[in-house]
């Protein structure tokens, strides 16, 4: 897997001019749009080789600061999507603006559309029992040609890995979406994607919950104002402790700006 491969480089050439990747507090974020993400995923599947995709938000960045294994996985992933609005803010503050927010929750619909159009087989792994099945049903309702290779809740426990990998392999999945929350889903993919036979392995966090309707996304106006995190905190107040990472992230970005620690941004 590791780093940018030739295919990805070709896909991301679409970027023309804009900085292709930025480092925010030491974590790589690729400056791609939805269209470019889809072009990359298409290339990845055609290559047949394993490519890990991550949906980065400020919580990821803060977790990666204290978890070198997680940081290494993100920084060597084939594609790191700018999922959180906080990253766009940080990019502006640090003088490296990202062009678009590319989320797992919206991206999953577009990936389903790509898979349906190109005949790629999609496997949905993770979330609570029944959620992946319901998500698959809704995706197929919208894209009737979509091939669902399989769905399975499973668990990120190491003891279950071999059986889950066998399931994904037997299903001949091209694209494997994993919803075990970060950093577990990224670590699970780093250990298992290559042997699963899937060409794309992407951590999607709560996206299956949203697609299945067991979690509700913020209204459009809140999303437009970059307040999705606030809505999520209101709906799922148990997240408050995790979300303490957000003001810490903001403080570190401002500090980096003040002290002009641009080494974090570019290599």
For residue 204 the two structure tokens come to: 């999607």
- Asked if residue 112 lies in contact with residue 122, where contact means CB atoms within 8 angstroms, the answer is yes
Helices (H), 14-103: 34-47, 58-65, 68-76, 85-93
Q: 123 - beta bridge partners? A: 150, 176
The correct pick among 37, 205, 217, 249 for binding ligand UDP (CB under 6 A) is 205
| Contact criterion met (CB below 8 Å) for 245 and 251 | no
Q: Contact between 206 and ligand UDP (CB under 6 A)? A: yes
Nearer to ligand UDP, 107 or 265 (CB): 107
Shortest CB 181 distance to ligand UDP, Å:
3
Nearer to ligand UDP, 148 or 202 (CB): 202
Across the chain, how many H-helices and E-strands are there?
14, 8
Closer to ligand UDP by Cβ: residue 54 or 149: 54
Distance CA 131, CA 19 (A): 38
Residue of the chain from 124, 164, 208, 211 that contacts ligand UDP (CB under 6 A): 208
Task: Select 85 or 208, whichever has its Cβ closest to ligand UDP.
Answer: 208
Residues 98-157 that bind ligand UDP (CB under 6 A): 126-128, 155-156
User: Residues in contact with ligand UDP, total (CB under 6 A)?
Assistant: 13
Reported as type and span, the H/E element at residue 139 is: helix 131-142
Phi/psi of residue 49, each to 5°?
-95, 155
CB nearer ligand UDP, residue 63 or residue 96:
63
Pairing of strands 121-126, 147-152: parallel
> Please, what is the minimum distance in Å from the beta carbon of residue 57 to ligand UDP?
7
Judged by CB under 6 A, which of 168, 179, 189, 190 binds ligand UDP?
A: 179
Interaction site with ligand UDP (CB under 6 A)? 126-128, 155-156, 179-182, 205-206, 208-209
């Amino acid at each position: 897997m590791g780093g940018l491969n030739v295919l990805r480089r070709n896909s991301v050439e679409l970027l023309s001019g804009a900085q292709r990747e930025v480092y925010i507090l030491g974590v790589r974020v690729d400056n791609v749009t939805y269209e470019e993400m889809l072009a990359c995923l298409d290339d990845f599947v055609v290559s047949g080789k394993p490519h890990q995709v991550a949906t980065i938000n400020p919580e990821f960045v803060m977790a990666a600061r204290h978890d070198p294994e997680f940081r290494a996985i993100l920084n060597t992933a084939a594609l790191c999507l700018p999922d959180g609005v906080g990253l766009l803010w940080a990019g502006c503050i640090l003088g490296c603006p990202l062009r678009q927010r590319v989320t797992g929750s919206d991206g999953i619909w577009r990936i389903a559309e790509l898979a349906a159009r190109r005949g790629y087989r999609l496997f949905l792994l993770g979330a609570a029992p029944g959620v992946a099945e319901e998500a698959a049903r809704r995706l197929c309702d919208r894209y009737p040609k979509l091939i669902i290779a399989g769905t399975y809740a499973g668990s990120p426990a190491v003891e279950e890995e071999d059986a889950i990998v066998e399931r994904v392999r037997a299903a001949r999945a091209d694209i494997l979406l994993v919803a075990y929350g970060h950093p577990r889903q990224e670590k699970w993919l780093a250990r298992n994607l290559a042997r699963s036979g899937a060409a794309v392995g992407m951590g999607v966090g709560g996206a299956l919950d949203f697609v299945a309707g067991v979690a509700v996304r913020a209204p459009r106006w809140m999303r437009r104002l970059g307040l999705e995190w606030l809505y999520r905190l209101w709906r799922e107040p148990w997240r408050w402790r995790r979300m303490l990472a957000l003001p810490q992230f903001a403080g570190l970005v401002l500090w980096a700006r003040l002290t002009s620690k641009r080494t974090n941004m570019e290599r």
